[in-house]
Amino acid sequence: MLHFLPAPLRGAIALLLYAVNTIGCFITMTPFMLLKGIVFHENARNFFTTVLMNLGTAWITLNSLILRLTQNIEIKREFEDEAGFDHFSTRKSYLVISNHRSWADILLLQHIFNRRIPYLKFFLKKELIWVPLLGIAWWALDFPFMKRYPKEYLEKHPEQKGKDIETTRKYCEKFKYSPISVINFLEGTRFDRKKQEKQQSPFRHLLKPRAGGIGIVLSSMGEHLSRIIDVTIVYPENRPPIPFWEFLKGNIPVAVIHIRSYPIPEKFAGKNYETDEVFKTDFQQWINQIWMEKDERIEKILHP
């Protein structure tokens, strides 16, 4: 609808609309966040959590409306399985893994998975709960917090090794009854050629995957997850790196999003990534195989 506007003006309007939506959502959530923090009755807290999740979903829905209003991007969805989204449910829990090309990835993933799987959440370090405003919002929306001990601390206190996994696992027990979608960008940062060269990455279109993050997710809550959703994001008309401002201006004409899912290997669920060296080695090899297949998939999308 705003496609006729000059790119900088369109970008400024899009940024303003996203900011207003976010601030409005936070203000609306504030009384329910406060009530959840001071009320200790379990049923009441569950009610406030449900309200907050609905508000979070409404925020994503409005972001999708802004996307349609300000962007002329063609989103091509590709599925490994012809059933498409029929495999997924908001009543099941998932681990979503993806490559990372732009900050636009998050908006697009929220857009295509909204109301098809549970609200997408990131595993966060426990210390981030003290971030002003955002910390309480993440807590209220039941983002999973992960306790990590520094390597130096563990060297001095080896008896604490593995305790962080146990603490996180206890925290995640509630997700057995409350579905969740945990998302992890395995590269840890957005892809660009300089980073690729610095890493000496063996992949043509990807940075090296960091297996530790999802290794800890599976160690903490693998038994509560239904499937892994493997997402491959490609912007075939744009060369990385792709600044978010380019997306806001409407300079990303096409996004290809390939989706496949598979069950979590039983041999990985419930293991301790930080103390089980055999599990760690097997898991890293498994992730590297997924990344090899993803690299080949991107090559075919870019050069059909």
Same domain, 57 and 190: no
**pTM as predicted:** 0.88
Last residue of a domain, which of 72, 93, 114? Answer: 72
- Residue in the block written with tokens 């590297």: 288
Mean pLDDT, residues 38-46 taken together: 87
Last residue of a domain, which of 50, 72, 94? Answer: 72
Q: What does the pLDDT look like over 176-201, one tens digit per residue?
A: 678 889 898 999 889 999 999 999 99
Is the preceding peptide bond at 304 cis, omega within 30 degrees of 0? Answer: no
Same domain, 58 and 98: no
DSSP string across 38-77: H---HHHHHHHHHHHHHHHHHHHHHHHHHHHHH---EEEE
Starting from the edge strand earliest in sequence, which strands make up the sheet with 94-98, in order? Answer: 74-79, 254-263, 227-234, 94-98, 181-185, 120-121
pLDDT higher than threshold 90 for residue 125: no
Same domain, 3 and 47: yes
Q: Which tops the pLDDT comparison, 217 or 257?
A: 257
- Which helix (DSSP H) or strand (DSSP E) does residue 79 occupy? strand 74-79
What's the rounded Cα separation, in Å, for the pair 236 and 304?
A: 11
**How many domains does the chain contain in total?**
2
- Which helix (DSSP H) or strand (DSSP E) does residue 261 occupy? strand 254-263
pLDDT higher than threshold 70 for residue 73: yes
What's the rounded Cα separation, in Å, for the pair 262 and 227?
A: 6
Same domain, 62 and 207: no
Same domain, 138 and 231: yes
Same domain, 103 and 234: yes
Q: Residue 25 sits in which domain range?
A: 1-72
Residue 63's pLDDT is 95
Same domain, 168 and 203: yes
Q: What are phi and psi of 275, to 5 degrees?
A: -120, -20
Same domain, 234 and 113: yes
pLDDT higher than threshold 80 for residue 116: yes
Same domain, 53 and 81: no
Q: What is the CATH number of the domain that holds 260?
A: 3.40.1130
Same domain, 180 and 216: yes
Same domain, 92 and 1: no
Q: Which tops the pLDDT comparison, 213 or 72?
A: 72
Same domain, 66 and 27: yes
Last residue of a domain, which of 24, 39, 72? Answer: 72
